């Protein structure tokens, strides 16, 4: 039986759409994402829908309210991370928001990163495969499958 953790991952664009708000996971030594940069998001609660989950996570992690949101795709990650969990992630692009983002949260420091600089950051290996799909101009969502083994990507496939 397949029982994935369902989660959301949001990439918040700056008002001029040239940068993305990212968290540098540098606060907790026991964090499986320690040292990596990531979008914002997390696990869906049993009493919420995907959009509610995304908005709550962005509010909790960055202190802002999402106004314009585009579902860019989904990924089925199997055996992901040190606990080898299965995740079904829904990835969003937030093109407008209100409020002033936090400078940090319980996971790490938040900063605006130029889109073209993101690939040079310490990321999960698999992020390099799907991040171009987040920022491309294709309006169709993607549906991806990315199995991991021992924190390494085994393969990547997607359709639109």
Q: What is the pTM of this model?
A: 0.94
Q: What 3-state DSSP class applies to 20? A: strand
Q: Give, for all 160 residues of the chain, the pLDDT tens digit.
A: 899 999 999 999 999 999 999 999 887 777 677 678 999 999 999 999 999 999 999 999 999 999 999 999 999 999 987 788 899 999 999 999 999 999 999 989 999 999 999 999 999 999 999 999 999 999 999 999 999 998 899 999 999 9
- Listed by start position, the domains of the chain span 7-159
Cα dihedral sign for 101, 117, 72, 2?
A: negative
Residue 110, burial from CB neighbour count under 10 angstroms (0-12, 13-18, 19+): buried
Q: How far apart are CA 102 and CA 115, in angstroms?
A: 19
Q: What is the CATH number of domain 7-159?
A: 3.90.79.10
**Residue recorded with tokens 């869906």:** 44
């Amino acid at each position: 039986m397949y029982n994935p953790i369902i989660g959301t991952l949001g990439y918040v664009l700056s008002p001029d759409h040239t940068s993305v708000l990212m968290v540098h996971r540098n606060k907790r030594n026991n964090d499986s994402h320690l040292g990596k940069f990531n979008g914002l998001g997390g696990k869906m609660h049993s009493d919420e829908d995907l959009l509610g989950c995304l908005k709550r996570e962005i509010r909790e992690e960055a202190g802002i309210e999402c106004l314009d949101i585009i579902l860019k795709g989904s990924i089925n990650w199997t055996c992901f991370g040190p606990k080898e969990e299965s995740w079904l992630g829904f990835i969003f692009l937030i093109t407008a928001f209100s409020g002033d983002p936090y400078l940090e949260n319980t996971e790490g420091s938040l900063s605006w990163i130029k889109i073209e600089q993101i690939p040079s950051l310490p990321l999960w290996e698999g992020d390099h495969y799907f991040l171009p799909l987040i920022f491309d101009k294709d309006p169709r969502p993607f549906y991806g499958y990315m199995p991991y083994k021992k924190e390494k990507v085994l393969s990547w496939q997607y359709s639109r």
